[in-house]
A and B are shown apart, each in its own frame.
Chain A
Amino acid sequence: MSTAEIERQWTTRLRKRVAGHLPPEKLLPDTQPAYVSSWIYVFGVTTIAALTMVILSGIILAIRGPQWWHSSSIGHFINSTHLWSVEIFFFAMIVHLWGKFFMAAWRGGRSLTWVTGVVTFLASVGTAFTGYVSQTNFDSQWISTQAKDGINATGVGSIFNVLNLGQMLMWHIVLLPLAAVLLTTIHVLLVRVKGVVPPFEDEKGATK
Chain B
Amino acid sequence: MAYLWSLAALIPLNNYGHYIHWGVIDVSVANFIVVVLMILTFIAALFLPFPGRNRRKENQ
A–B contact at 8 Å CB threshold (below): yes
Known contacts A34-B55, A40-B45, A76 near B7 by CB under 8 Å = yes
CB distance from A44 to the nearest CB of B (A): 12
Q: Which of B6-54 contact A (CB under 8 A)?
A: 6-9, 34, 37-38, 41-42, 44-46, 48, 50, 52
Select the stretch in A94-102, A128-136, A148-156, A179-187 that faces chain B.
A94-102
Q: Is the CB of A73 within 8 A of B8?
A: yes
Q: Which of A90-138 contact B (CB under 8 A)?
A: 91, 94-95, 98-99
Interface size class of B (residues with CB under 8 A): 10 to 19
Closest to B41 in A: A95
Whether A94 pairs with B45 at a CB distance below 8 angstroms is no
A7 CB–B CB distance under 8 Å = no
Chain A interface mostly: helix
| Interface residue A3 (Cβ < 8 Å from any Cβ of B) | no
Q: Which A residues are closer than 8 A to B by beta carbons?
A: 34, 37-43, 73-74, 76-77, 80, 87, 91, 94-95, 98-99
